[in-house]
Amino acid sequence: MKFPDAASLPAGARLEVRLEDAGQVSGSGALKSTGSAASIATQTVDAGGQRPPISFTLAVPRNALLPRHRYVLRAEVRSATGERLFSTPPDQPPISNPNTTGRVELTVAPPN
């Protein structure tokens, strides 16, 4: 996970990374959303004092990934008091292969 400010995160900061099911793709290729995205896997990392990039690993059960569905990685960094410091954009594009076992980079930005 990367963020624009190269400074260290404050003590007590937490990074949460989620893999979400964004919905099913129709025969025409259009995404049929099911409303709010269901979280498939989550990891929370103690990020206090760290500088980017910050590593994360998501363990995703194979049976949780459904054919013809699209999946989105989301990330938030919150302070020790819960204030959102950084997050992925709301229009984060789906990942091309949810079975990726290699390196995936997420970039977060301060909330608007």
Residues in the chain: 112
Per-residue pLDDT tens digits for 30-89: 656 655 678 899 999 999 999 888 888 888 888 888 888 888 899 999 999 999 999 999
* Cα separation, 5 vs 53, whole angstroms: 11
pLDDT for the residue 90: 86
DSSP string, 49-66: T--S---------GGGSP
